[in-house]
A = this chain, B = another copy of it.
Amino acid sequence: MECHQFAGPLFTDLYELTMAAGYHRHALHTQRATFSVFVRNPGRKRNYFVAAGLADVLAELERYHFTREDIDYLRGLDLFTASFLDYLGTLGFSGDIWALPEGTIFFPEEPLMEITAPLVEAQLIETFVLNTLGLASLIATKASRCIHAARGRSLVDFALRRTQGLDAGDQVARNTHLAGFAATSNVRAGKRFGLPLTGTMAHAFISAYPTEIEAFRAFAEAFPENAVFLIDTYDTLEGARNAATVGREMQARGQTFQGVRLDSGDMVALSHAVRTILDAEGFKDAKIFASSGFDEFGIDDVVRAGAPIDAFGVGTKVGVSADAPYLDIVYKLVRQGGRDVRKLSPGKVTLAGKKQLFRLCDGRGRFREDVIACRDEDMDGAEKLLTPVMVGGRPLEPHPPLAALRRRFEEGFAVLDERYKDIHNYAAYPVRISPRLKALQKR
């Protein structure tokens, strides 16, 4: 169902190409190298992350190649030798990848992907890999916080108009769904990823008719099975009464009035007042949808205040992860030509060597501790979280459907301790480094 949009090998920083040319000139380009991808957490705004974006990484790398037009453009830069450009023209991605399955919960400093490939190949894909895993995981993580705050209420993605670009709109729809959102308003993403769609009317629709009640009637006539009326264009309580009037007309025709949407004002007070009106009119099953700048914090506030809101339309602040709009995701060389390597810049330390990530659970199946270890270590009773997903440039198996990734997230989230799900307070999950991996760092 998922359809990957090819980024192309020019989706890269120039220095990846100048470095590649340097490696090529000094015959280092085919040396086998391993890069490790992980997320730092300097701002401590997140207690955990949700892995996402792997499907797009694999789809891109499987098709990785420079077109003739790409090579012509690079030639025009007057930076590269003909021999290097010829080499690029023949390049594919032939490496091996281990990664966390999408939907896996992970923690700061833990490897979420390790790529082993000829040095040039591994270097050239850095920018694409970071961008793709970074955005998808950023959004899945943010969405999971909303799901937690909503305590079982339904969430839908309304972010498309203010995501950071076209591609981000689709990624937001997909990865909020991965983390449990019910539907999206984004039609293109619905088509691309097979997502449930949702949405009824905007204020402009109400304004386009002489009166609010005429707009509701017009909508109910066109979409008798999808009638959620937006009631705040003029006066919200009057809007609720108009909605109920049209609801009764629908009832008389054997149709079902679904509910109303609030988009401005005091959500707690208005939802109570509107609930009272709807109940008094006999519409106890009609739902109240709310959509006014919500994120996990806003949802938490109104849920705690007891607002009778059944579902939230969640937009901009989640679509750009406004309180923390990027992951500090990095791609570090950890092994090259048979030796393990690490970087020692102040405040930026990398763990050398190929790694595995183990997760230990307690007797009730709850996450207890993670251990970052050497790739070939074993640990009794622990789940190995990094799994091989690509060998020699070919995916090992078809990527699981989005529904399976969503289930993986749900299952993991269900056994994550409440203190790490707290959206307000920082809590550091215990992550150890195995004795063998520690010893390796000293060498």
Contact = CB atoms under 8 A, between A and B. Distances in A.
Contacts of A345: 203, 232-233, 263-265
Nearest to A333: B204
A123 interface: yes
A168 B169 contact: no
A272 B232 CA distance: 59
Which residue among A31, A77, A163 has the maximum number of chain B CB atoms within 10 Å of its CB?
A: A163
A182 interface: no
A332 B233 CA distance: 12
Contact of A185 (B13, B33, B163, B327): B13
Nearest to A138: B164
A25 B131 contact: no
A10 B329 contact: no
A22 B217 CA distance: 10
Interface residues of A, number: 101
A201 B168 contact: no
Contacts of A21: 222-223
Nearest to A337: B208
Given A14-B187, A187-B13, A322-B325, A130 B264 contact: no
A171 interface: yes
A127 interface: yes
Interface stretch (A191-199, A370-378, A395-403, A421-429): A191-199
Nearest to A5: B166
Contact of A14 (B77, B164, B197, B203): B197
A270 B410 CA distance: 47
A234 B73 CA distance: 35
A320 B324 CA distance: 10
A134 interface: yes
Contacts of A341: 207
A307 to B, nearest CB: 17
A406 to B, nearest CB: 20
A28 interface: yes
Interface in A313-366: 316-317, 319-322, 325-329, 331-333, 336, 341, 343-348
A251 B149 CA distance: 63
A293 to B, nearest CB: 9
A74 B188 CA distance: 10
A316 B326 contact: yes
Interface in A21-78: 21-23, 25-26, 28, 31, 33, 35, 70, 73-74, 77
A17 interface: yes
Interface string A213-254: 000001101110010000011100000000000000000000
A12 interface: yes
Contact of A199 (B8, B13, B169, B347): B13
A162 B336 contact: no
**Closest 6 CB pairs between A and B?**
A15-B199, A14-B199, A164-B164, A165-B167, A165-B168, A13-B185
26 contacts: A11-B160, A11-B188, A12-B188, A14-B185, A14-B190, A15-B185, A15-B202, A17-B187, A18-B219, A21-B223, A25-B221, A28-B208, A31-B208, A73-B191, A79-B226, A127-B161, A130-B162, A161-B329, A162-B326, A164-B164, A164-B168, A165-B167, A207-B343, A232-B346, A265-B346, A319-B326
Interface of A: 5, 7-8, 10-19, 21-23, 25-26, 28, 31, 33, 35, 70, 73-74, 77, 79, 119, 123, 126-127, 130-132, 134-135, 138, 158, 160-169, 171, 185-188, 190-191, 197-205, 207-209, 218-219, 221-223, 226, 232-234, 263-265, 316-317, 319-322, 325-329, 331-333, 336, 341, 343-348
